[in-house]
Amino acid sequence: MSLSKILGTRVLSVVLAIAFCFGLDAFVTGQLNEYVVRLVMLAGLYVTLSVSLNLINGITGQFSIGHAAFYMVGAYSAGIVSNAIYKTQPLAAPAYMIISMLIGAVFAAIAGLIVGMPSLRLKGDYLAIVTLGFGEIIRIIVLNQNQWGGSYGYAIAPKYQAGWLIWLLAIICIATCRNLLKSAHGLAFLAVREDEIAAQAMGVNVTKTKVVAFIVGAAFAGAAGALFGHMESFINPDLFKMEVSFLVLTMVVLGGSGSITGSVLAGATLFILPELPRIVSFKMSLGLLLSVLVGIGVLVWMNRKFMEKYHEPDKLKRTLVVAGANIGLAVLAVVVGKLLNNIPQFGTTTYDANKIRYMILAVVLLVIMLLKPTGLLGHHEFSWDWVKRVLNRNKAGEASA
Amino acid sequence: MALLTLKDATIKFGGLTAVNKVSFDIEKGDLFGLIGPNGAGKTTCFNLITGVYEPTSGDIDFLGTRICGMAPNKIAEIGICRTFQNIRLFGTLSALENVMVGAYLRHKTSLLGGFMLTPAVIKETAELRKKAMELLSVVNLTDIAHSRACDLSYGKQRRLEIARAMATDPKLILLDEPAAGMNPQEKDELRDVVFKIRDDYEKTVLLIEHDMKFVMGLCEKIVVLDHGEEIAYGDPSEIRNNPKVIEAYLGEPV
């Protein structure tokens, strides 16, 4: 590829990214209610968090489950600095955002360096325990700082809901990780994940690679934390509990460890999933609920025991048969559920979907992990080449038919 | 001056002396064999040379520099690279990417550039890919360049490891049982590859091997280890007729 072409694509993608962010902001804040706006902004933050954790966990293979700590360090450090400036010399709101993002990123990067150090000696479960412990230590330290409000919380000025900036950060984070994987430098990170001893024997500086992964991953989480702090304008340590780390970890694993596309998809959708019943509220009768649960069990069993053994050379036919079987099963489950409702107790006992939303989330996660143990996308990435390949394959199929 | 010099290299693990006062010189351009029964300390010797272990006592010099205690990646940088007895490829990466990891050692662009994918990085990545493809053709693996390393057959994995080590541009290449698990035809191919590495690419080769026919037909100098001690040194005909070697290892004259 020629230099001018590379530069052309670059400029085009930057313009598109900025246009997307402002377009999103204009559309979302103008048209939708506050709750949905908040969800869209949170989605952007979670995309940043999951993609940055994917750099540490999925790409470099360092099992870290303390990502909420970096998020927290970013939020608090940015908030403290921003408050100090706000008192002495008020600036325009977007200026705060830029300063806060940088401050959050720098402090979180320092935290990343500190956590990255033990990763040089620890592996797998042991590293996971250390990162988990680190996350809790940071939270408890902040919890006991009265000058930062302790458990009451800490007010951050100014309040600024920068949807465009949140999504711009997400895009920068995605672009950074994707760039790394496109370059030969990314291979060093992947090599460390695959086999540390071999990577080192091939001259890869394993120490540097791991520490850089932690620093860059933490910095993005810190920047996201800074934006989160200004978005909420009031934060407390409970917002950065272990659950957040686990949610982000779930996103990475569910999307397919190592796959940026997977992290983005899971990051943008996974936390919305339990919110959906709030938006579209519906009730389920006991009969339908039981039938659906049994149906899901049968579905998993069918796909694992039967469909995996079903070999059909024609891909289209295979996809149709599998999809047909699954849809048929779903319809059957609903029909059986309606029939079960005729039994007195089963029909009259109802559950609000909103109340059992975490159960729904758990079932969805279980099903995905049982059917796709490597995550939705495995190690795959979305790319235009892939789209072209699929289209060409279909064309070739049509031609031969 | 010798390329690699081991002088009384010794390593002890607790009470066990795995390698005891082993000394030998490897000259530039040698095809050097290291043989001995199982547990003789051959792979430990490799681990000492490549920096996985630091010798308890003794010296290892490479081009006049003492390399004891250097990190393995530094040793790879100054020009010693190896393959592994129990194959250690990067399983989910493609064969091409595996070789590119080796070639990556000689990169010149900065990591920061990698995160930004600067034109220089794109250019360098393309160059590394080209170099990796060339090396794959040396070991006859061009057709499977885009297959995942873990999906390859055993013999192909062994050759891929050699290509990966070659990609680091070593002066000295250490092959740990390269012919293990190969059929006779694959062994013949491997022999050609090793000669090509030495003659066309002007590398020095040190190899561990159990297949005596293979070693005798390939190496010009051989060191024999037994229980961590060096029991013989010489060319294949000397080793073949050395009574100590026959007793310890060969069993009967080959």
Q: Which long-range contacts (CB under 8 A, 24 or more apart) does B12-19 make?
A: B12/B56, B17/B228, B18/B44, B18/B228, B19/B44, B19/B45, B19/B48, B19/B55, B19/B225, B19/B228
pLDDT, tens digit (0-9, with 9 covering 90-100), for A16-36 = 888 888 888 777 776 778 888
Q: How confident is the model at residue B252 (pLDDT cuts 50, 70, 90)?
A: low
**3-state percent helix, strand, coil for chain A, nearest multiple of 5:** 80, 0, 20
Q: Do A179 and B93 touch (CB under 8 A)?
A: no
Of A253, A278, A303, the one marking the end of a domain is A278
| Pair B215, B191 in one domain | yes
| Pair A255, A327 in one domain | no
Indicate whether A45 pLDDT > 90. yes
Q: Tell me, yes or no, whether A22 lies in a domain.
A: no
For Cα atoms A387, A370, A194, give the angle at the middle one, nearest 5 degrees.
65
Q: Do B116 and A212 touch (CB under 8 A)?
A: no
* Amino acid B253: pLDDT: 52
- Cβ A338 vs Cβ A254: under 8 Å: no
| Pair A353, A392 in one domain | yes
* Amino acid B206: pLDDT: 95
* Amino acid A1: pLDDT: 57
* Count of domains observed in chain B: 2
Of A263, A278, A293, the one marking the end of a domain is A278
> Which residue in chain B is spatially nearest to A194 when comparing CA positions?
B90
Q: Compare CB distances from A3 to B88, B117, B119 and report the shortest one's residue.
A: B119
Q: Tell me, yes or no, whether A311 lies in a domain.
A: yes
- Cβ B247 vs Cβ B227: under 8 Å: no
- Cβ A180 vs Cβ A56: under 8 Å: no
Mean pLDDT of B176-183: 88
Indicate whether A288 pLDDT > 90. no
Q: Compare CB distances from A201 to B76, B93, B115 and report the shortest one's residue.
A: B76
pLDDT more than 90, % of chain A: 44
- Residue with the larger pLDDT of the pair A306 and A320: A320
What CATH code is carried by the domain that includes residue B17? Answer: 3.40.50.300
Mean pLDDT of A54-80: 94
Query: Is B233 at the interface with chain A, CB within 8 A?
Result: no
Q: Tell me, yes or no, whether A9 lies in a domain.
A: no
How far from A132 is each of A53, A65, A142, B126, CA to CA, in Å? 14, 5, 16, 40
Residues of B in contact with A179 (CB under 8 A): 114-117
For Cα atoms A34, A35, A37, give the angle at the middle one, nearest 5 degrees.
65
**DSSP, res A235:** E
Find tokens 């390329």 and name the residue: B3
For residue B72, give the amino acid letter. P
Q: Compare CB distances from B117 to A183, A208, A379 and report the shortest one's residue.
A: A183
* Count of domains observed in chain A: 2
Give a three-class secondary structure readout of chain B. CCCEEEEEEEEEECCEEEEEEEEEEECCCCEEEEECCCCCCHHHHHHHHCCCCCCCEEEEEECCEECCCCCHHHHHHHCEEECCCCCCCCCCCEHHHHHHHHHHCCCCCCHHHHHHCCHHHHHHHHHHHHHHHHHHHHCCCHHHCCCEHHHCCHHHHHHHHHHHHHHCCCCEEEEECCCCCCCHHHHHHHHHHHHHHHHCCCCEEEEECCCHHHHHHHCCEEEEEECCEEEEEECHHHHHHCHHHHHHHHCCCC
Q: How confident is the model at residue A401 (pLDDT cuts 50, 70, 90)?
A: very low
| Pair A289, A223 in one domain | no
Q: Tell me, yes or no, whether A117 lies in a domain.
A: yes
* Amino acid B213: pLDDT: 85
Q: Tell me, yes or no, whether A8 lies in a domain.
A: no
pLDDT, tens digit (0-9, with 9 covering 90-100), for A271-281 = 888 787 777 77
Mean pLDDT of A119-148: 89
- Mutate: best of A183, A206, A381, partner B, most B CBs <10 A: A183
Structure token pair of residue A151: 């458990």
What CATH code is carried by the domain that includes residue A62? Answer: 1.10.3470
Mean pLDDT of A193-211: 94
- Predicted ipTM? 0.92
Domain of A160 in residue numbering reads as: 32-278
Residues of A in contact with B88 (CB under 8 A): 195, 197-198, 201
Q: Tell me, yes or no, whether A5 lies in a domain.
A: no
Q: How confident is the model at residue A49 (pLDDT cuts 50, 70, 90)?
A: very high
- Mutate: best of B67, B99, B117, partner A, most A CBs <10 A: B117
| Pair A62, A206 in one domain | yes
Domain of B56 in residue numbering reads as: 4-79+170-250
